[in-house]
């Protein structure tokens, strides 16, 4: 079975631009979460979506938004990019939205903002 897949693998943008990152969950998983991992730090929670609804949001500005589609895939959008948005963006999927559900992570999208 395919794991969590993310695209693109790497991305280079300039300040002020917009970016869209994509995530396909494991088949049968209905929850997708997004995390930001800055170099040298642990991942930080950005969003959780379950059954196409936003269930939670971390301490990130409104420039960050996301959505989940009927096939449970998800997009993370970041507007007005700042240098500090450079990070590895990880997507995780789980069967449902509860805290006991194991989150399976993709390999991430490495975003560089110049």
Cα–Cα distance for residue pair 25/64, rounded to 1 Å: 20
Spatial contact of 92 and 107, defined as CB atoms under 8 Å apart: no
Minimum separation from the CB atom of position 103 to another protein (A): 6
- Looking only at the bridges linking them, the beta strands covering 53-57 and 44-50 are antiparallel
Choose among 7, 3, 4: nearest CA to 110: 7
Q: What is the footprint of another protein within residues 25-84 (CB under 8 A)? A: 33, 35, 40-45, 48, 50, 55-58
Minimum separation from the CB atom of position 15 to another protein (A): 26
Choose one: 18-26, 60-68, 77-85, 92-100; the region binding another protein (CB under 8 A). 92-100
Q: Which positions lie near another protein, rule CB under 8 A?
A: 4, 33, 35, 40-45, 48, 50, 55-58, 90, 92, 97-108
């Amino acid at each position: 079975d395919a794991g969590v897949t993310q695209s693109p693998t790497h991305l280079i943008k300039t300040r002020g631009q917009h970016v869209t990152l994509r995530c396909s969950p494991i088949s049968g998983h209905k929850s997708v979460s997004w995390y930001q991992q800055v170099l040298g730090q642990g991942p930080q929670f950005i969003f959780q979506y379950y059954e196409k609804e936003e269930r939670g949001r971390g301490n990130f500005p409104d420039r960050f938004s996301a959505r989940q589609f009927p096939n449970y895939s998800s997009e993370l959008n970041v507007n007005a990019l700042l240098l500090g948005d450079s990070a590895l963006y990880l997507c995780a999927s789980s069967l449902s939205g509860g805290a006991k559900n194991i989150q399976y992570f993709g390999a991430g999208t490495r975003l560089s903002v110049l």
